[in-house]
Amino acid sequence: MKKILKILSIIIGVIALDLVTKGILLYMITGYIPVVGAAWNLVPNPYLMAYVTGFFNIVFTWNFGTAFSLFNSMGEYAPIILVIMTGFLIGVILYYLFARAKKYEIVPLALIAGGAIGNLIDRIRFGAVVDFLDFHIGGYHWPAFNVADICIVFGVGLYILNWYTARQRCLKSIKKDGK
């Protein structure tokens, strides 16, 4: 029961933080928080920017593709295809998380699932994902991203780190027992 509560609290926390930050941005731009609607009809100016520092801006942009705007020009069926693919991947992650995940996999996979669900909610509601964090050096910009993307990337990095350290511990114990 503790495992389930931990998983759900992380996932719900990530989704809430993601939706709240996107909601604040949409409210600042439109004067209301849209529940549903086609992305291209909700905000008249599809790319707005507020300068924050010499290397960071708050922007508003729709991401019709996947991470880093990949597959941005898949055509009119892209939202449906991406919703189905994302839903399938979330299902696989959740199954593994609840049924088989080792202790060190719980937090990273819950972060990944929460971020993926946050972006899936946008994709279902608007047909695109709201991105608003823009880091840059000079004229070179990293693709805009959001809180869900941060959680996904951090979760993947943490998963890899945890997997590597668990593997190293296992190898050490094998060497120790083999001597």
Task: Supply 156's token pair.
Answer: 């993947």
131 is an active site residue:
yes
**pLDDT for res 29:** 82
Residue 75's pLDDT is 67
Give the pTM: 0.88
Residue labelled with tokens 């291209």: 40
Q: Which residues of the chain have pLDDT under 50?
A: none
Q: Give me the pLDDT at residue 35, please.
A: 85
Q: What is the DSSP code string of 17-33?
A: HHHHHHHHHHHHHHSS-
Selecting among 18, 122, 131, 134, the annotated active-site residue is: 131
Catalytic-labelled residue, pool 18, 122, 134, 149 = 149
Q: Per-domain residue ranges for the chain? A: 2-178
Instruction: Give the pLDDT of residue 96.
Output: 96
How far is residue 87 from each of residues 80, 124, 128, 129, measured CA to CA in Å?
A: 11, 11, 15, 15
Told to judge if 18 belongs to the known catalytic residues of this protein, a careful annotator would answer no
